[in-house]
A and B are shown apart, each in its own frame.
Chain A
Amino acid sequence: MHIKYESFVREPLVDGNKDYHQISEDIVSPIEGKPGRMWYVGFIFSVILLCFGIFSVSWSVYWGLGTWGVNRTIGWGWDITNFVWWIGIGHAGTLISAILLLFRQGWRTGVNRAAEAMTIFAVMCAGQFPIWHMGRVWDGFWVLPLPNSRGPLWPNFDSPLLWDVFAISTYFTVSLLFWYSGLIPDFALIRDRAKTKLRKLLYGFASFGWTGTAKNWQRQEALALVLAGLSTPLVLSVHTIVSFDFATSVIPGWHTTIFPPYFVAGAVFSGFAMVNTLLVVTRKILHLEQYITIGHLEAMNKIILLTGSIVGVAYLTELFISWYSQAWGEMAAFQWRIMGPYWWSYWAMMTCNVVSPQLFWIKKFRRNIPFTFVMSIVVNIGMWFERFVIIVTSTYRDWIPSSWAYYSPQWPEVGFYLGTFGLFFTCYFLFAKYFPVIAVSEIKFILRTSGENYKHKMAHIENQGAEEFYHVVTTHHEDEHHEEVAHH
């Protein structure tokens, strides 16, 4: 047996006097009960938004993209802004589930399930924008390398836009597999507890017949570890490739080598903000404060502070390099960003992304829930403006002054954006009702090292001297060893 002990310096990840059964009760009982009034209100509102989005998209497809505000100078308006924004948000889930798994961060277990769900829904929303931006969407399959009657003419494999198709579809698939392979044991728990026939049937189907044998778990852990190892470079590659959409072109403001790390940091920044937005509400409504503790929120706020600062450094680096290059186009592009007709978007971005996260240096703010909630929304407003600034204020004044233009969105574009909120929250509300919002089996796994009540039982170890502690550990292992030898 391994000694199960973690220092008191780390605060518990599971508060309260929990045992394994209590964990199942706390997390599964919201699924078994009727949803509250708030759930219905939120769900219906989301479905209405989704319907409005479907209407706006249908309108755009029927009348064509002339209904949008984009023009020949500014070809990528709100549409691609929203695409990059959503795909950025979709980075936090994999970061939490993969990178923090490799770094053995125990606190990820409280938030990984919801964050991964958020990732999948955000990628679904992101995917809508390039698809409907095609205009003639019925020809959309042309981006796939399928044998065809046009030659066969293949897509351009040297184009970042095609890399994006591969990156995002791979990212969606792998995130979904990672998420679902973790959900299977929890579905089996709901199935085994189920009192009604319908629930037993549905969760039995969803649990794939999982019974949790020793071999099952051994393979499950191997799968999770390798998928984490694969997802780590994957998540970095996805936003890198999104940044290539801009960086490989020769437009001032886009043509910079700093884009890949700067985009990835921004993606993590906005993703963690969205996780905070959702979890602050979810933990309250589902009474999960003992699993998603203030310590969890603080850990995420620290990551927001770190990535926000990286983003800030990237903005300043861009400005410096544009001056240092002494290239007319570069300098003008950044001067117009700051002082041109879109100055308000640049300063909104700077305030929300660079200045406001610095408040998280103060511990009191990091651990304050209303402040965390407000900040999480401010950050995502800032990150939306970042993409708007990059896309619109790099293109609205191009090389020929006669084609300089201004861009404002039209209602179908706004409706499309609102519709993706509808899609996102419809999915999230269904998830919060029918899926275990916290990874039950993973919480049980860490309970004896990180549960509050188990930590108290370890008090005597904490008070031991180093000699004594060493003695306890070594004799413990020696006993094991003798037993093994006797056995053989």
Chain B
Amino acid sequence: MYVAVKGGERAIDNAHRLLAEERRGDPDVPELSLAQIEQQLALAVDRVMTEGSLHDRELAALAVKQARGDLIEAIFLLRAFRTTLPRLGVSLPLDTAAMVVHRRVSAIFKDVPGGQILGPTFDYTHRLLDFELAAPGSLVTPPAGVENGGEGEGGTAPLPRVMDLLDREGLIESEPPSEPGAQVGDLTREPLTFPARRDVRLQNLARGDEGFLLAMGYATQRGYGRNHPFAGEIRHGEVTVSLAPEEFGFAIEIATISVTECQMVNQFKGSATIPAQFTRGYGLVFGGAERKAMAMALVDRALRVRELGEEPTSPTQDEEFVLSHSDSVEASGFVQHLKLPHYVDFQSELVLVRDLRAAHGTRAASAAPGGR
């Protein structure tokens, strides 16, 4: 009987105990350590950090463990922790041109200064289950003929961004110069309003659900807001985070973080005021969440219709549609809240449907032959 859901104090306690038990699983199997998760499920940790908006590998690993591998739940855990943290300052913009690169590919030029660096990627693996991996202790063969795991010139001199090379020729739109002293928006402090500024939009997309962005980006490729994309450059590596406290008057390096950046180049036929040129879509994520970075760049470009004077034709170009539904924590909560009791509203609906059916019966009876 549903009323049994009432009187829930003990039920809640017991649910939590059951959950802890399920999380642990068979006690004969050794427990996962955070280091194992962080090292061996690194891409799960990267996704949780990216969508959780908090760069902390250890806490993200803890969230993955606590959430039993449910990454959206892990993202929620990390977000709820992040929200309690004080804001000490705003870092300087990351300089991704100065990145210590582990991977860098451009799909628009056969070769670029600094070369193409394949790095660790699933791209050319044959997706055959590796049964040797099933047994622990399999040996890892180090890459041949390279130092520090990188290929080509990776990890040494800074590599110029491919987009900057295009920019010199004026073929691609310039990044709008940042206004000096302008504050960067923060969705976690101020509610999203429409029309949204691009900084806020990119923050929304960076926090957005990978699956959602993937589907939206994919839809643009299939004609729902097509924007003719080319992967101008994807680079993955370490960048330095710097802070310039006012009282210091100079910047100090506070951290090195791992990021993946994707710059899409998109065709633009020009408008009355702008000659034909290429436009940009931008994606940036923590760690190696490359799929997400690419999807983000596609969606970012799709959402620039208004700014570029294009005709919006699809939901992927509708900023309210995309930005209001991208967040997995919001979406997961609202979808799942349907399991909370709704019996008051449902009772009201029962009363109404019974009334309407009774009225319908009366009308049908009076309309029947011989009824009047």
The answer on A and B forming one complex is: no
